[in-house]
Amino acid sequence: MKAPTKLFVSGPIIALAAFVSTTTVVAAQIDSGKLDWTLVLNETRGPLRSANVSTPLGKTAVSEILGGPTSGSVNGYVIYTRMPSGGRGPALFTLPLEDDYVVLSGKMSVQIGTDKFVAGPLTAVIIPANVPHKVWNDEADPEANLEVIGSANPDKDLSRDLKSMLKPAQATKVKNAAQYIREIKVPAASELKPGLNRQVIANMVKGSPITVLFDCTLPGSGGPPTHVHDFEQVYFMVEGEATMPYGVNLLKAKKNDIVIVPPGVVHTNMNQSTGVERHITLLLPEPTVPPFDIEFRKMGPLGSSNPDFKGGPPHQ
């Protein structure tokens, strides 16, 4: 008997913005073609990267690695995928790490074990480690999603060769598979309060080793004061524009941009635009030992507290 198809649709369909990104195509043929996956490596250096949404989409799905162990995100893979109508990801497979998706536009079909679902815009799909799954697009319109692969022990579990971690799988029953489909509730601007308006999609309490959050801010609002922490944090912009102090720089992140914040980098996020800003926040992995955020204030140039200091060459 054919497994029932369930529909999870939430939020507005997110339109794709145009951006030209420098990429290198990497063909991933796994298990003699059984697990085909076309990967594209975003070659942008630095913390701010933009997903390539301007290149015309062909007949096959393309996954763009925005960050990974060889390109800035040392504790996980952050991947942006576009699937045309009829496009498919790898055949049914497992990963030794958690594999999470957030549908950004269109609808994504997903099989978890033997059960099949349809996830609409701003629906998350949380796949635990070693659970058989696959994704595809059966709809007339193209689909786009953000994918993050991570674990509680990235130094031990995370390979620098992504395709080597995929293993062919059989369609075996997964208990209560529907629990891994999670609708993101998108609050209207009138429902938002000053500061971060946060929704937890995945974390340790929900059984995940990484944290996936959906954050919204009003104009003139934002996150906590500038701070540091000892875990990796990644922002992915869903809507609007965020201003992000990052070390001694000030970054402007727009829709389909990511900002990778390594451990120890001073940062925060602010909405200095005229519209609502929404982004996905990833903690890779979720921290377990406090303090989690340590406030860090900019004091000025080194030695500037000395009234006789007149400036000079950088300290060696």
| Residue 123 CB coordination number (10 Å) | 26
The pLDDT of residue 18: 31
- Quickly tell me which residue has 């500037």 as its tokens: 304
- Quickly tell me which residue has 């957030």 as its tokens: 102
Cα dihedral sign, 200-50-28-55? positive
| Burial tier of 66 (Cβ tally within 10 Å: 0-12, 13-18, 19+) | buried
Q: State both tokens at 256.
A: 């389909």
The pLDDT of residue 301: 78
The pLDDT of residue 207: 96
| Residue 270 CB coordination number (10 Å) | 17
The pLDDT of residue 289: 86
Beta bridge pairs of residue 261? 233
Three state DSSP letters for 177-196:
HHHHEEECCCCCHHHCCCCC
Pairing state between β 123-127 and 181-183: antiparallel
Residues composing the chain: 316
* Strand residue runs (E) in 154-248: 167-168, 181-183, 197-202, 211-217, 227-228, 232-239, 241-246
Q: How do residues 195-232 score in pLDDT, each as one tens digit? A: 999 999 999 999 999 999 999 999 999 999 999 999 99
- Residues 273, 241 contacting (CB under 8 angstroms): yes
The pLDDT of residue 117: 98
The pLDDT of residue 32: 36
The pLDDT of residue 241: 98
Predicted TM-score of the model (pTM): 0.85
How far, in Å, CA of 142 to CA of 60, rounded? Answer: 11
Q: With respect to CATH, is domain 5-183 assigned 2.40.10.480?
A: no
How far, in Å, CA of 76 to CA of 12, rounded? Answer: 28
Query: Residues spanned by CATH 2.60.120.10 within the chain?
Result: 5-183, 189-295
Q: State both tokens at 53.
A: 């949404």
- Taking the chain, what is the end-to-end CA distance rounded to the nearest angstrom? 72
pLDDT tens per residue, the chain (316 residues)?
Answer: 444 444 444 433 333 333 233 343 433 333 333 688 999 999 999 999 999 999 999 999 999 999 999 999 999 999 999 999 999 999 999 999 999 999 999 999 999 999 999 999 999 999 999 999 999 999 999 999 999 999 999 999 999 999 999 999 999 999 999 999 999 999 999 999 999 999 999 999 999 999 999 999 999 999 999 999 999 999 999 999 999 999 999 999 999 999 999 999 999 999 999 999 999 999 999 999 888 999 998 887 776 555 555 555 554 4
Q: Under CATH, which number does the domain 189-295 receive?
A: 2.60.120.10
Specify the 3-state DSSP secondary structure of 174: coil
DSSP letter, residue 121: T
DSSP letter, residue 250: E
